[in-house]
Amino acid sequence: MLEGIGANHVKKTEPTLVERLRERILIRQFQRGSSDAFLALVRLYEERLLYFIRRFERDPERALDALQDVWLMAWKMRLSLRSPGAFRAWLYRIAHGKIVDAIRRESRRHRAEQQRPVASTNTTDGVSALLEAAELVHFALARLSPEHREVLTLRFLEGMTIAEIATATNCPNGTVKSRLHYASQEILTLIAEQHNDCQ
């Protein structure tokens, strides 16, 4: 497994129709208990899952342990997956469950910090454009609250829909939209501040 993810993994390309069909076949085989299909899915998702987990667990060893726990639980719970199309949200919901304690711990620390003023801006276009500035994005993501970091990672880096994020995080759609809105504003402010400091 990879120890970390570089800047070139910030934005992933959309899978082709053939790749999506191949993945669905693998998921069906995985549901039936195929260890080969399971290992193929691990190879397909482990890098992205590790990136997601590392947004909350900075220690590389603990992040790798959490990743292994996610895959172990996915194998044990494979019969609970209702359809291959729901696999990604289902998998990230398992990962969400594994990191929720870390999120709660960090949330308590975050609330204790002084609140940063947030500048208003056109958030959706701004965040999409700034995803190309990988180092700034990683810097800013690390400073967001865990809840905001999670929805931005799933939306902009994993390409999930609002409904998929809601499933993965076990939150209502409205909560996801609200978190995305405020997280987008905050990350733009952080990136702008860092950019100005570097000039």
Q: What is the CATH number of the domain that holds 184?
A: 1.10.10.10
Is there a domain that residue 141 lies in? yes
Domains: count for the chain: 1
- What is the phi/psi pair of residue 10, to 5°? -70, -40
Quote the pLDDT of residue 102: 64
Quote the pLDDT of residue 156: 80
Is there a domain that residue 1 lies in? no
46 is in which domain, residue-wise?
Answer: 7-198
Per-residue pLDDT of 38-51, as tens digits, reads: 999 999 999 999 99
How far, in Å, CA of 90 to CA of 96, rounded? Answer: 10
Quote the pLDDT of residue 107: 64
Is there a domain that residue 2 lies in? no
Quote the pLDDT of residue 89: 94
Quote the pLDDT of residue 6: 41
Per-residue tens of pLDDT for the chain, all 199 residues: 333 434 344 445 677 889 889 999 999 999 999 999 999 999 999 999 999 998 888 888 888 888 999 999 999 999 999 899 999 999 999 998 888 766 666 666 656 664 554 444 445 555 555 555 566 677 778 888 888 888 988 988 788 999 999 999 999 999 999 999 888 888 888 877 766 666 5
For the chain, give the percent of residues with pLDDT over 90. 37
How far, in Å, CA of 19 to CA of 14, rounded? Answer: 10
Is there a domain that residue 66 lies in? yes
Tokens of 55: 């947004």
Quote the pLDDT of residue 7: 38
Quote the pLDDT of residue 184: 85
Q: Who contacts 92 (Cβ-Cβ below 8 Å, separation ≥6)?
A: 49, 52, 154, 158, 160, 164, 168
Query: One-letter amino acid identity for 11?
Result: K
- Helix, strand, coil proportions of the chain in percent (round to 5)? 75, 0, 25
CA pseudo-torsion sign 80, 148, 101, 2: positive
